[in-house]
Amino acid sequence: MLYLVRMDVNIPHDLPAEQAQEIKAREKAYSQDLQRDGRWKHIWRVAGEYANYSVFDVESNDELHGLLQALPLFPYMKISVTPLAQHPSAIAQN
């Protein structure tokens, strides 16, 4: 089951740079783990912004929320979720 997720990152400028780097490194590793196991299906950079659009493929709203709130950058992101359904004109299955 697919969800489109937009994440806008806003790291406070007074967060120590070292701490920010450490959080971002964990974020990247976490994201790549989920991409490899197939649940974080797509991740694209929004051109010009510190933001991404992603597509998640999970079993339920609960699973999605669990994955998102475990993001190391979660406290510094504005996230919005759009549930996606099969489009009648799509030639592929979601």
Number of residues that bind its own copies (CB under 8 A): 52
Is residue 53 involved in binding its own copies (CB under 8 A)?
yes
Residue number with CB closer to its own copies (21 or 61):
61
AA letter at 86: Q
Phi-psi region of 32 (alpha: psi -120 to 50; beta: other; left: phi over 0): alpha
Instruction: Pick the binder of its own copies from 16, 37, 38, 60 (CB under 8 A).
Output: 60
Residue 87 CA to residue 94 CA, distance in Å, equals 8
**CB of residue 69 to its own copies, shortest distance in Å:** 8
